[in-house]
Structure 1
Amino acid sequence: MSTAAPETATPPPARRRRVTSMEVLCAVLVVAMVGQSWIASWLDAPALRTGATIFVAVCVQALPFLVLGVLISGAIAAFVPAGVLDRLLPKREAVAVPVAGLAGVALPTCECAAVPVARRLMRQGVPASVALAFLLAAPAVNPVVLIATSVAFPGNPAMVVARLVGSLATALVMGWLWARFGKAGWIVERALARAPEPTGRARWRTFAETARADLVDAAGFLVVGGLAAAVLNVVIPRSWVDALGAQVVVGVLVMAVLAVVLALCSEADAFVAASISGMPLLAKLVFLVVGPAIDVKLFALQAGTFGRAFALRFAPATFVVATTCAVVSGLLLLGGTP
């Protein structure tokens, strides 16, 4: 009678040890202690100090308004029933787009705050064209921005009117263009997915969780955008801007690109535009209209919120439309003002 050989237990596969964040932190501290003299000299570079200052300034300017935006986003998710906004807006998209643009006048937010609000509007069933019109109008036509513009350009009310008209026209044109040519597939599904409607005490929990999630999501891309703005500010010499600003056409293009690169908050950009000497008033208007519509931090926020397919199409189109609307508004309202 044969006896079966006893089965040998197969040893479990060796688990690969993973490096933890604590070990990474310890390694960084050791490197910092060993090379502290070299790191100190490297950090003392003027370009690095300038970049760090710009990075902090962009983030500090935008963060309070970003918090305001996510609070509004959380309030919409928790306390506004899904069908209310859809019932309040006109049924025709072509008419609802200007209504959303004019609604931006009543909400003093910067461009960063408008992104989570626009996403929340889409999740509540508002057409994307209407939400995008609000996204572009709110940071550019609200009373805070217009008052700041009048203070930065004293004795020149035409500049305030031209900025209002150019920015509102940009929002409406982009909204109508999206209604005609936009595709839902360009926006990631998570930006359009509707959450179940909360009731009772669950509303406050939904408000807190939505605001926290939107803040964490948007703040990371704000940091990326602020870092890009800081790097570009340091890399591009200011002398190039001064030299190219002597001609109106070149000055318009330079200021449009500069608005994208500097990534200023819409409540502060008028003072920067007014301080740039050597630029014609029309070029400064282009700076004020393009900046709140599209810049490097906004591109990062839009890519993270709505997806790269959306941002790669929406950002270039917005840049062209905003520049064109600003030039037309300036030629009509500023005339020959230097």
Structure 2
Amino acid sequence: MTSVDQRPPATPPSPPAGRAPLLGGRIGSVEVLAVLLIALLIFREPIAAAISTPLLQTWTTVFVSVMVQAMPFLVFGVALSAVIAVFVPRSFWSKALPKHPALAVPVASCAGVVLPGCECGSVPIAGSLIRRGVTPAAALAFLLAAPAINPIVLTATAVAFPNNPEMVVARGVASVIVATVMGWLWLRLGKQEWIRLPHRPELDDLSRWRAFWAACRHDIVHAGGFLVLGAMAAATINVLVPESVLQAVADQPVLSVLALAALAVLLSICSEADAFVAASLSQFSLTARLAFLVVGPMVDLKLISMQAGVFGRRFAMRFAPATFVMAVLVAAGVGMVLL
């Protein structure tokens, strides 16, 4: 008769006392944050002395102002993007937009008037529209038009230019024209492989609310990181551009339009606030300031960074320069007619 070994199975050895088991040896965000906090505590005095310099104070002010202006609208856009991705069925877009892509582009451009938000929120929304089956040309037209023609922006423009109500009309007309033309150009010249949407979490196996929060977390981390990089670049260039340069070109019509268009790209001001900055540049003509208002919501540093993060670098390298040229030309033309 054979005996049965009844010893309990061997258990894996426990880690030595005082040491926690490592999860794959990876360093996570909590560890990085802890190291940063410790470094700030150790080097608090030299850091405080460095920040107290006027140049860095200006840099910090610009960076914080861009982030404070943009972040609420980024969160709004991310939440709306998650709603589109999770709760809106694909069949809705086939009914809401014309089936012919060439007709869907102007409809999508005009649809931006009903959604309050800025360029920071329109980027994730456009990405979500493409994922839901909307033609990229229509989604890109919405991306360009929505930040410039929504009710909040148009109201802010009217308040900033109380003696020039034609600025509101000129801004709306020029922005819709640029968005529509760029959408049509994408239909003609764009290639699908230029758009590389980032990998999204698998949402099909989750409940709707879990999928909603998963989509929000993904977009906040992805788009928010590029927003920070764009804000840092805008603050850096802001403190390096001397004000005397603006004074030198203000009296030259062509250069003034180009200067304010370039300034709009560099400053990266949220579209809800850029009208007040444009109104303060009283030494420039209304046409030059219109170029500032048309270019800013469509092409700026933080927007280019976010487009590169959401759609890919190949897309941003082609789409942003083309949009800049088109926005300058259309703003100059509309300004000559309406202003």
- TM exceeding 0.5: yes
Q: Which amino acid aligns with 1:42?
A: A
RMSD: 2.4
How far apart in 2 are the matches of 1:157 and 1:213?
A: 41
- Deviations 1:204-237 (CA, angstroms, capped at 9, x unpaired): 1111111121111111111111001100000111
Report the alpha carbon displacement of residue 194 of structure 1 after superposing the two structures with TM: 10
Q: Does 1:217 align with 2:225?
A: no
Q: Which amino acid aligns with 2:164?
A: N
**1:194–1:128 distance in 2 versus 1, CA, 3 Å:** farther
Q: Does 1:234 align with 2:234?
A: no
Q: Does 1:65 align with 2:73?
A: yes
**Greater Cα offset, 314-323 or 239-248:** 239-248
How far apart in 2 are the matches of 1:146 and 1:180?
A: 31
Q: Who is 2:166 aligned against?
A: 158
How far apart in 1 are the matches of 2:165 and 2:157?
A: 9
Corresponding residue to 1:95 among 99, 103, 110: 103
Q: Does 1:139 align with 2:154?
A: no
How far apart in 1 are the matches of 2:296 and 2:214?
A: 31
Report the alpha carbon displacement of residue 28 of structure 1 after superposing the two structures with TM: 7.5
Q: Does 1:74 align with 2:82?
A: yes
Corresponding residue to 2:258 among 253, 256, 260: 253
**1:215–1:239 distance in 2 versus 1, CA, 3 Å:** same
Report the alpha carbon displacement of residue 189 of structure 1 after superposing the two structures with TM: 4.7
How do 1:1-338 residues align onto structure 2 when only pairs under 5 Å count?
A: 22=31, 29=38, 33=42, 36-190=44-198, 202-334=207-339
How far apart in 1 are the matches of 2:154 and 2:141?
A: 18
Report the alpha carbon displacement of residue 248 of structure 1 after superposing the two structures with TM: 1.1
Q: Which amino acid aligns with 1:87?
A: K
- Deviations 1:255-305 (CA, angstroms, capped at 9, x unpaired): 000000000010100000001131111100000000001100000000000
Q: Who is 2:21 aligned against?
A: none
Q: Which amino acid aligns with 2:177?
A: A
**Greater Cα offset, 252-261 or 42-51:** 42-51
State whether residues 82 and 197 of structure 1, in contact with CA within 8 Å, keep that contact through their aligned partners in structure 2.
no
Q: Which amino acid aligns with 2:253?
A: V
Give the 3-state SS of the residue equivalent to 1:297 in structure 2: helix
Q: Which amino acid aligns with 2:154?
A: L
How much identity, in percent, do the aligned residues show?
53
State whether residues 170 and 334 of structure 2, in contact with CA within 8 Å, keep that contact through their aligned partners in structure 1.
yes
How far apart in 2 are the matches of 1:142 and 1:27?
A: 40
- Deviations 1:68-98 (CA, angstroms, capped at 9, x unpaired): 1011111111111123212321111110000
Give the 3-state SS of the residue equivalent to 1:292 in structure 2: coil
Q: Which amino acid aligns with 1:114?
A: S
State whether residues 197 and 312 of structure 2, in contact with CA within 8 Å, keep that contact through their aligned partners in structure 1.
no
How far apart in 2 are the matches of 1:252 and 1:67?
A: 33
Report the alpha carbon displacement of residue 240 of structure 1 after superposing the two structures with TM: 1.1
Count how many residue pairs are aligned between Structure 1 and Structure 2: 316
**1:242–1:219 distance in 2 versus 1, CA, 3 Å:** same
State whether residues 124 and 194 of structure 1, in contact with CA within 8 Å, keep that contact through their aligned partners in structure 2.
no
Q: Which amino acid aligns with 2:159?
A: V
**1:23–1:67 distance in 2 versus 1, CA, 3 Å:** closer
Report the alpha carbon displacement of residue 158 of structure 1 after superposing the two structures with TM: 0.9
Stretches of structure 2 that go unaligned for 5 or more consecutive residues are 1-24
- Deviations 1:164-215 (CA, angstroms, capped at 9, x unpaired): 1111111001100001100010011537x796657xx811111111112111
How far apart in 2 are the matches of 1:110 and 1:27?
A: 32
How far apart in 1 are the matches of 2:153 and 2:231?
A: 21
Stretches of structure 1 that go unaligned for 5 or more consecutive residues are 1-16
How far apart in 1 are the matches of 2:136 and 2:232?
A: 29
How far apart in 2 are the matches of 1:100 and 1:24?
A: 42
Q: Which amino acid aligns with 2:183?
A: G
